[in-house]
Amino acid sequence: MIADSDRGARYTPAVPILAVIARRWCVAVLGLALVGCAAKPLAQPSWPAPSDPMKLSRDAGFEPTDREFLTTHTHAHLDVFVDGERVQVPAGIGIDVAAPKGIAATKTPDGTGMDYQVSVCDAPCLSELHTHTPDGIVHTESSKIDVEPHTLGQFFIEWGLRLDDSCVGDYCKPDTTVDVYLDGKKHDGNPAEIKLTPHLEVAIVIGKPPAFIPDSWSFALGQ
């Protein structure tokens, strides 16, 4: 007989203990998966000036010279960040620093880098697009009048690094976020096509951004 107190009671089947364990295990695995999906810190790159600067200068479309010409003389500035850490733009991009004559190499004032200045070399030793110091200033020095600004893509060819609308060096979308800013404003488009106009500030941000996106550079008087 069914007791009156049990009449109309809704039957609830027992949940097998193994199902409960399985459900809790799945939740735990999901939690671990979410932790595993969190962005891992990016490895900081080693991007020195390349050892074949004159070949790369020609690859970028320039004809190297044996001295500096300043008929056109302009400067832009490049910052590169990887996970908020500044990556040094090295001195000597576009300069044959190993030339036996015509290159004066001195320490920077802080003693951490080199400053390469060019007088007259025995052979072509200088691209008209180059860096003298490791501060990110990109120099255009040409014998021609009113030279059309060169591109960031040409500079990266001289640096020996990939640059296009997907990748900077070995860092590529969608695995890594890559953003480019011009004078502090986000740029959409292929960064290789950016023209290095006078006093332009270019900031390439790979992965986590820095606390501050630079929007200008304090060029020295006359630069």
Query: Please, is 7 exposed, middle or buried when counting C-beta atoms within 10 Å of its C-beta (0-12, 13-18, 19+)?
Result: exposed
Q: What is the pTM of this model?
A: 0.83
User: Please, are residues 94 and 130 in contact by the beta-carbon 8 Å criterion?
Assistant: yes
CA distance 213 to 81: 10
Rg value, the chain, Cα: 28
- Over residues 159-201, the pLDDT tens digits come to 999 999 999 999 999 999 999 999 999 999 999 999 999 999 9
The whole-angstrom distance between residue 209's C-alpha and the CA centroid of its chain comes to: 11
- Over residues 8-24, the pLDDT tens digits come to 333 334 444 434 334 44
User: Please, are residues 156 and 192 in contact by the beta-carbon 8 Å criterion?
Assistant: yes
What is the percent of the chain with per-residue pLDDT over 90, rounded to a whole number?
A: 79
